[in-house]
DNA sequence: ACTTTATATAACTATATAGTATTCTAACAA
DNA sequence: TTGTTAGAATACTATATAGTTATATAAAGT
């Protein structure tokens, strides 16, 4: 059996990759990351999130809806306010992995620059 | 010291979240996930990737450029061909986490459906 | 009932980008 | 040199979506 059949319905096919892409898409916007970052400390209502992030009310509302439909946040109305909280803590695991990786890269670049720079202190 | 100062230049501020969002953006498109999925087995040239994914040449070339500039792929010309390979294997770790999570959710939904369904075999 | 306040929704604009058709460049072969 | 092939770059179209303005809904207070 070849590694990949011609019309292969495995993990490589677009249909199976779509939900994965959609999940990452939720994490690919600064505003949504801001919201998630806020909620890391616990549940907040919309007004509080708006204040913390500086996002406009309608815009914020849309993002909250998207994140809730993606089952990353959960929604709980309380009186006239609505509280949102993290429902899928895995996002922080993902974010941390990426952050660590990006930091690693920066370190490596700084290291390389230091070594190659003709005027760096490493040449003394 | 309050948990979050008014004009706080910490991890919550947009500038710091941008590179994270950009990284996730690379993984938020089906076509790019297809490409990465192919290259999991090892280096391939553009024609091979094109055949495996069914993506058009120009489109593929653009995605490869993006992924290379994001330092997820590395590029190596060999004669007239150009081979690409995974340069940041962390993407697979991220994808696996998300896949596992999505699978978990589906399982839970199936479970819930089975329990709630009036005609399910669980009522016998 | 009316008013206020909090959130959601609808309609719109502006921008980013996926995909495609076409042209360009560079390596190799005849 | 000329031709051929692989890949990149350019120009364009179409679509998705972030942000905004304005409106709607719904709870709580008067």
Residue ranges per structural domain of chain B: 16-88, 89-124
Task: Tell me what the mean pLDDT of segment A83-87 comes to.
Answer: 98
**Residue B10 reports pLDDT greater than 50:** yes
CB-proximal positions of chain D, under 7 Å:
5-11, 17-22, 26-28
Percentage, residues of chain B above pLDDT 90: 77
What per-residue confidence (pLDDT) applies to B5? 37
- Between A60 and B121, name the one with better pLDDT: A60
What mean pLDDT is reported for chain B? 89
B55 CA: nearest nucleotide by C1': C19
Alpha carbons A90 and A71: distance in angstroms, whole number? 11
What per-residue confidence (pLDDT) applies to A120? 59
Task: Tell me what the mean pLDDT of segment A13-24 comes to.
Answer: 94
- In A, which residues are within 8 Å of B87 by CB distance? none
What mean pLDDT is reported for chain A? 89
Q: How confident is the model at residue B120 (pLDDT cuts 50, 70, 90)?
A: low
**Residue A7 reports pLDDT greater than 90:** no
Question: CB-hemisphere CA count at 13 Å for B56?
Answer: 3
Q: How confident is the model at residue A14 (pLDDT cuts 50, 70, 90)?
A: confident
The tens digit of pLDDT for each residue in B42-76 reads: 999 999 999 999 999 999 999 999 999 999 999 99
* CA proximity to B67, closest of B51, B47, B91, B50: B91
**Residue A1 reports pLDDT greater than 80:** no
- Enumerate the β-bridge partners of residue B78: B81
- The reply to whether A82 Cβ lies less than 7 angstroms from strand C is yes
**Residue A16 reports pLDDT greater than 80:** yes
What per-residue confidence (pLDDT) applies to A77? 97
- Enumerate the β-bridge partners of residue A84: A44, A75
What per-residue confidence (pLDDT) applies to A117? 80
Q: How confident is the model at residue B123 (pLDDT cuts 50, 70, 90)?
A: very low
Q: How confident is the model at residue A10 (pLDDT cuts 50, 70, 90)?
A: low
Alpha carbons B91 and B27: distance in angstroms, whole number? 8
Chain B residues 44-83 with CB within 8 Å of chain A: 52, 71
What is A12-88's CATH number, 1.10.3210.10, 1.10.1760.20, 1.10.10.10, 3.40.50.720? 1.10.10.10
Report helix, strand or coil for B43. coil
Q: How confident is the model at residue B11 (pLDDT cuts 50, 70, 90)?
A: low
Write the CATH number of the domain with boundaries B16-88.
1.10.10.10
Place of tokens 């839970």: B108
* CA proximity to B28, closest of B94, B105, B101: B94
- In B, which residues are within 8 Å of A30 by CB distance? 14, 17-18, 21
Alpha carbons A79 and B54: distance in angstroms, whole number? 53
Amino acid B85 CA to nucleotide D9 C1' distance, rounded Å: 22
CB pairs under 8 A between A and B: 94
Sheet containing strand A81-86, strands side by side: A44-45, A81-86, A73-78
* CA proximity to B122, closest of A43, B111, A28, B72: B111
Q: How confident is the model at residue A73 (pLDDT cuts 50, 70, 90)?
A: very high
- Enumerate the β-bridge partners of residue B85: B74
What per-residue confidence (pLDDT) applies to A11? 65
């Amino acid at each position: 059996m070849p590694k990949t059949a011609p019309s292969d319905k495995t993990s490589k096919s677009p249909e199976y990759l779509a939900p994965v892409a959609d999940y990452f898409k939720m994490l690919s916007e600064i505003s949504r990351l801001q919201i998630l970052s806020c909620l890391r400390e616990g549940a907040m209502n919309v007004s509080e999130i708006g204040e913390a992030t500086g996002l406009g009310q309608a815009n914020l509302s849309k993002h909250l809806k998207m994140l809730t439909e993606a089952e990353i946040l959960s929604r709980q109305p309380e009186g006239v306010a609505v509280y949102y909280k993290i429902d899928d803590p895995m996002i922080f695991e993902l974010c941390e992995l990426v952050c660590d990786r990006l930091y690693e890269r920066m370190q490596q670049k700084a290291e390389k620059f230091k070594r190659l720079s003709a005027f760096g202190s490493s040449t003394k």
